[in-house]
């Protein structure tokens, strides 16, 4: 490689340097960070010396790598629910945590702040306070409703009457985000075939399953509390099972007539 002083660095040299970074098989985020650092350095130098030209100013930033959100398949979710049911001590509470996260796609920060008066068991659904203090209502189904009702009738009253937060720890205090993560990790350890879990993975799962079953993007955007539709668009990937289902229903020669 030819050694150049920073003062003699030109636009073509900046492009060559960018090509060199790509040849090292670096991640796009690493390349972008290096280019940003050099661009900022030259901007600072230009303030000190007006004769300096920033060779990186016109260099196009490499696009960030787009990662598909990880999600659970339906059979994996069923396995998680079966594991929770086997815990006689705290299974009722843990099932409500799992049901609400999967049935509504809410964030863990929204989950731990749910109070009993936020529930509407007639519709049924729950009111949550999202990012930016924006309130939204998310419906949920019968499985979730029954789990909450059973929990409120049996587990919840025994733990605390000093506050009205829905979810509590074993001491009766409102459960924390860390507490929810601990619960989920404990469930995974006892579930065969499931290796990792975090609250946001359940949010990804909710969105993926909704879209795969025909929900429109705008509705899912509203349920998730996303400001931009492009954020929700990350979930429009489809599973192999869904691809096969669509193919079999749509292609004229997909199914053999009897």
Which domains, and CATH codes, for the chain? Answer: 74-232 (1.10.443.10)
DSSP E strand boundaries for the chain: 119-120, 125-129, 135-139
Mean pLDDT of 228-257: 67
- Give per-residue pLDDT as tens, 62-78: 666 556 668 898 899 99
- Confidence at 79, pLDDT banded by 50, 70, 90: very high
pTM attached to this predicted model:
0.68
- Give the span between the Cα atoms of 165 and 111, in whole angstroms: 10
Task: Please give the distance of CA 5 from its chain centroid, rounded to a whole number.
Answer: 45
- Based on its alpha-carbon atoms, the radius of gyration of the chain, rounded to whole angstroms, reads 26
Give the integer Cα–Cα distance in Å for 233 and 228: 9
11-23 and 28-48 helices cross at what angle (nearest 10)?
Answer: 150
Active-site residues, by number, are: 107, 131, 200, 203, 226, 235
Q: How far apart are CA 42 and CA 203, in angstroms?
A: 42
Mean pLDDT comparison of 9-23, 91-105, 241-255, highest-scoring range: 91-105
pLDDT at 193: 79
pLDDT band at 15 (very low <50, low <70, confident <90, very high): confident
Tokens coding 81: 């629910």
Count of residues making up the chain: 258
Does the structure show a pLDDT above 70 at 206? yes
- Are the C-beta atoms of residues 113 and 163 closer than 8 Å to each other? no
Coarse DSSP helix, strand, coil percentages of the chain, rounded to the nearest 5 percent? 55, 5, 40
């Amino acid at each position: 490689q030819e050694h150049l002083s920073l003062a003699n660095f030109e636009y073509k040299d900046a492009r060559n340097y960018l090509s060199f970074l790509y040849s090292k098989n670096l991640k796009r985020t690493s390349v972008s960070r290096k280019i940003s650092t050099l661009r900022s350095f030259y901007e600072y130098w230009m303030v000190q010396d007006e004769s300096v030209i920033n060779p990186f100013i016109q260099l196009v930033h490499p696009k960030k790598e787009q990662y598909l959100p990880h999600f659970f398949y339906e059979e994996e979710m069923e396995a998680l629910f079966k594991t929770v049911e086997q815990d006689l001590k705290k299974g009722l509470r843990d099932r409500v945590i799992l049901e609400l996260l999967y049935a509504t796609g809410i964030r863990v920060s929204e989950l731990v702040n749910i109070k009993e008066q936020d529930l509407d068991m007639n519709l049924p659904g729950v009111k949550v306070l999202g990012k930016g203090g924006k309130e939204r209502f998310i419906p949920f189904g019968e499985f979730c409703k029954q789990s909450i009702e059973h929990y409120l009738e049996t587990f919840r009253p025994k733990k605390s009457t000093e506050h009205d937060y829905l979810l509590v720890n074993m001491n009766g205090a409102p459960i924390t985000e860390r507490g929810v993560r601990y619960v989920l990790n404990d469930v995974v350890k006892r579930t065969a075939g499931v290796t990792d879990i975090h609250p946001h993975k359940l949010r990804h799962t909710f969105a993926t399953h909704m879209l795969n079953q025909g929900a429109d993007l705008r509705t899912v955007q509203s349920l998730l509390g996303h400001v931009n539709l492009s954020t929700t668009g990350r979930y429009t990937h489809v599973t192999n099972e869904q691809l096969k289902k669509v193919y079999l229903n749509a292609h004229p020669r997909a199914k053999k007539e009897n």
